[in-house]
């Protein structure tokens, strides 16, 4: 039986790497991104990697209607969501006293509102996955951040949204794990992607967490039975202790 996933922010970085891994295992998927040309390239990569079927939706995760749009488009091709990968996110640094509220609102919309709304809208398709494949159930995997677990100066807005995402996943497990839908929030420190390029003058890229390490965690989580609930996985950089 072919399993299917919805991956937000799947056109590059961690999202695309997760997609490639799932594709190599024969999954079908819908991926989102901001630019259609980048999505087209990603879709070809995923097809070449072995994906059974790939659909793309170009969207702005800050759009208040994005959840309804994505679930509607997903439902045109797939009847169940075996894995909902909440990967899309934004983040800018700045101290609390001068942080622009416009950027704060954008961070909230993309990092918290959109994942919450998408999880809500996806619930019927997640339950369909449980019914079709009770041995695996349905997985919700959210990319949070170590900044949501331990504070880092300059990341108050970003860290707050990631802390909230951790809470959402904990609560999802309280509400739905008994029915076969389980969630995991992965909270890594700095991962070697374009999103972390702004801090490479202080933290060299070759000391950051490898994207492949995050992919291995996601792949393992998709193979667990629904009897195992892993609410959160905290991943720190070697030698960094509890710093991001």
> Averaged over 59-81, what is the pLDDT?
97
Q: Which residues pair with 54 in a beta bridge?
A: 29
Torsions phi, psi for 63 (to 5 deg): -65, 125
Nearest to 212 by CA among 17, 7, 29: 17
Residue 66 maps to a domain:
yes
122-166 residue pLDDT tens: 999 999 999 999 999 999 999 999 999 999 999 999 999 999 999
Residue 242 maps to a domain:
no
Residue 53 maps to a domain:
yes
CATH number at residue 121: 3.40.50.720
pTM over 0.85: yes
How many domains does the chain fold into? 1
Residue 132 maps to a domain:
yes
Residue 240 maps to a domain:
no
Assess whether pLDDT exceeds 90 at residue 199. no
Q: Which domain holds residue 204?
A: 4-234
> Averaged over 38-58, what is the pLDDT?
98
The answer to whether 12 and 87 have CB atoms below 8 angstroms apart is no
| Banded model confidence at residue 195, pLDDT cuts 50, 70, 90 | confident
Residue 15 maps to a domain:
yes
Residue 31 maps to a domain:
yes
95-132 residue pLDDT tens: 999 999 999 999 999 999 999 999 999 999 999 999 99
**What's the rounded Cα separation, in Å, for the pair 44 and 27?**
14
> Averaged over 56-61, what is the pLDDT?
98
Residue 13 maps to a domain:
yes
| Banded model confidence at residue 244, pLDDT cuts 50, 70, 90 | low
Q: Which residues pair with 186 in a beta bridge?
A: 143, 233
> Which residue pairs from 38-47 have beta carbons closer than 8 angstroms and sit at least 24 positions apart in sequence?
38/11, 38/12, 39/10, 39/11, 41/11, 42/10, 42/11, 42/12, 42/16, 45/16, 45/20, 46/16, 46/19, 46/20, 47/23
**What's the rounded Cα separation, in Å, for the pair 236 and 216?**
15
Q: 83-86 and 138-143: which strand pairing? A: parallel
């Amino acid at each position: 039986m072919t399993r299917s996933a919805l991956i937000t922010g799947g056109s590059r970085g961690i999202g695309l790497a997760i997609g490639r891994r799932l594709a190599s295992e024969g999954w079908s998927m819908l991926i989102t991104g901001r630019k259609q040309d980048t999505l087209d390239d990603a879709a070809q990569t995923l097809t070449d990697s072995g994906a059974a079927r790939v659909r793309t939706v170009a969207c702005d995760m800050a759009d208040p209607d994005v959840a309804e749009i994505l679930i509607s488009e997903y439902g045109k091709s797939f009847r169940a969501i075996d894995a909902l990968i909440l990967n899309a996110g934004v983040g800018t640094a700045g101290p609390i006293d001068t942080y622009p509220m416009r950027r704060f609102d954008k961070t909230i919309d993309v990092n918290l509102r959109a994942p919450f709304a998408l999880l809500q809208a996806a619930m019927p398709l997640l339950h369909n996955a449980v019914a079709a494949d009770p041995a695996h159930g349905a997985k919700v995997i959210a990319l949070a951040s170590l900044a949501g677990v331990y504070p880092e100066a300059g990341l108050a807005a970003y860290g707050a949204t990631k802390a909230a995402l951790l809470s959402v996943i904990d609560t999802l497990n309280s509400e739905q794990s008994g029915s076969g839908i389980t969630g995991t929030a992965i909270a890594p420190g700095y991962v070697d992607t374009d999103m972390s390029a702004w801090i490479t003058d202080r933290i060299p890229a070759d000391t950051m967490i490898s994207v492949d390490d995050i992919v291995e965690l996601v792949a393992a989580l998709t193979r667990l039975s629904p009897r195992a609930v892993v609410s959160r996985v905290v991943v720190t950089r070697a030698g960094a202790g509890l710093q991001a």
